[in-house]
């Protein structure tokens, strides 16, 4: 969901000294006395802003919206992650983080980076945007190699994506790919050109249709240590595997996409059929509780039939299993398998914050609605520790079927 933005509200949230620095850098409102303005009392500033030429305001409004959007905890995490790439001298990153954390709030931190550390800004906003995305498609069993990020490799990836979409649906006359490094992960943001659109826009005092050629977005996140590729793609899911193959060829130098057999599913949902299943998470992760709130069952007969069982685990963490037990007489366990699990977790964002409820789904074969923000990464680690998202089995091992395991002896 797009975050609501209001210029007046942004002026209230940003301290006067930082507003003065921003406008001085843009060489506007130089005669405005920010020292005489009381904090949060921004009517005079807003009036001066509205008196600026529309063309001048338009460019700054885009910048202010971007600063406002990243002025939160997730945005600061993205900034700190991007800073690692730029500050690689001994102690430089630690000093930068200390400087940032000494500021009183996230708005001040975002504005400081925007004004004083411009090379970090684009990467930080890209990471923050990726952290807000959900429904990633996973692919494991890829070569555990260093991603190729030389300009020639990025150009080849861009051209291959462009060629694919030109051949399948006639769009993507142009395509640009931006690579970024974030810890042990490599991010690739691809922007192929979409179909032309006529969109209504204000032109002076009239609304007119303007022809536009917007990009659509593809995001690849590659973990070389684990040989895992996560892909975010809106629209046609048929493009997922071809895009994975394109990435493997040009970035991993793997001419053929390794097999991703159905019996080697990324998510192992079979254990979650049982009420005795317990999730596992690390001490210090901030996770307080995890419970299943939904099971989507695939029926063997009739073909392609599904049954969804859902219950609120707030007062009874095993409520969904109580419902499943009630159905057992008419729906024996051998007549279904689990295709999706809904999960509710209570997670503390930090040591002093109250726990918040996070609800997400895990679906076979390779879909998870968790975002790549700080909490999302903790919960992904929990899934891996719980053997729901296991590492690739050793060569020759046969993955377990989606079947009921014997219940433990109580």
CB proximity list for 410: less than 8 A, separation 6 or greater: none
Query: Which residues in the chain show pLDDT less than 50?
Result: 1, 262-263, 265, 391-394, 396-401, 403-410
Q: Please report the DSSP string for 239-280 in residue order.
A: GHHHHHHHHHHHHS--SSPPP--TTS-SS--GGGGSTT----
Q: How far, in whole angstroms, is CA 341 from its chain's centroid?
A: 20
pLDDT in the model for residue 403:
44
Q: Is there a contact between 388 and 367 (Cβ–Cβ < 8 Å)? A: no
In 3-state terms, the chain is what percent helix, strand and coil (to 5)? 40, 20, 40
In degrees and rounded to multiples of 5, residue 182 shows phi and psi of: -135, 100
Q: Is there a contact between 308 and 363 (Cβ–Cβ < 8 Å)? A: no
| H or E element, residue 89 | none
pLDDT in the model for residue 101:
95
- Integer Cα distance of 297 and 77 in angstroms: 38
Query: pTM of the prediction?
Result: 0.73
pLDDT tens-digit series, residues 133-180: 988 888 888 999 999 999 999 999 999 999 999 888 888 899 999 999
- Integer Cα distance of 406 and 403 in angstroms: 10
pLDDT in the model for residue 260:
67
């Amino acid at each position: 969901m797009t975050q609501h933005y209001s210029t007046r509200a942004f002026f209230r949230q940003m301290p006067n000294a930082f507003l003065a620095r921003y406008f001085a850098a843009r060489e506007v409102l130089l005669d405005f006395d920010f020292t005489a303005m009381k904090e949060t009392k921004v009517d005079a500033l807003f009036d001066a802003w509205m008196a600026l030429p529309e063309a001048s305001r338009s460019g700054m409004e885009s910048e202010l919206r971007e600063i406002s959007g990243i002025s939160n905890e997730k945005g600061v995490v993205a900034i700190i992650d991007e800073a690692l790439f730029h500050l690689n001298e001994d102690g430089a990153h630690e000093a930068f983080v200390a400087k940032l954390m000494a500021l009183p709030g996230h708005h001040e931190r975002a504005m400081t980076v925007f004004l004083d550390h411009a090379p970090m800004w684009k990467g930080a906003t890209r990471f923050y945007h990726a952290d807000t995305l959900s429904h990633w498609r996973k692919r494991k069993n890829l070569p555990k190699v260093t991603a190729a990020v030389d300009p020639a490799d990025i150009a080849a990836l861009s051209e291959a994506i462009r060629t694919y979409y030109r051949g399948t649906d006639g769009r993507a006359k142009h395509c640009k790919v931006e690579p970024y490094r974030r810890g042990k992960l490599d991010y690739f943001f691809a922007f192929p050109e979409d179909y032309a659109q006529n969109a209504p826009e204000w032109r002076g005092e009239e609304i007119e249709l303007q022809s536009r050629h917007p990009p659509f977005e593809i995001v690849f996140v590659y973990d070389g240590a684990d040989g895992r590729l996560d892909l975010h793609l809106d629209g046609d899911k048929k493009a997922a595997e071809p895009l994975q193959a394109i990435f493997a060829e040009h970035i991993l130098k793997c001419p053929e996409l390794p097999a991703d057999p159905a019996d080697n599913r990324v998510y192992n949902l079979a254990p979650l059929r049982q009420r005795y299943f317990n999730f596992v998470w690390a001490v210090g992760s901030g996770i307080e509780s995890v419970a299943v709130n939904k099971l989507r069952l695939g029926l063997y007969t009739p073909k392609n039939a599904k049954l969804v069982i859902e219950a609120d685990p707030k007062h009874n963490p095993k409520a969904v299993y109580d419902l499943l037990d009630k159905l057992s007489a008419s729906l024996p366990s051998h007549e279904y398998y689990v295709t999706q699990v809904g999960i509710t977790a209570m997670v503390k964002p930090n040591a002093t914050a109250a726990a918040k409820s996070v609800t997400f789904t895990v679906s076979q074969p390779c879909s998870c609605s968790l975002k790549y923000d700080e909490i999302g990464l903790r919960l992904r680690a929990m899934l891996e520790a719980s053997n729901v998202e296991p590492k690739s089995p050793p060569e020759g091992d046969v993955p377990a079927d989606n079947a009921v395991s014997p219940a433990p002896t109580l």
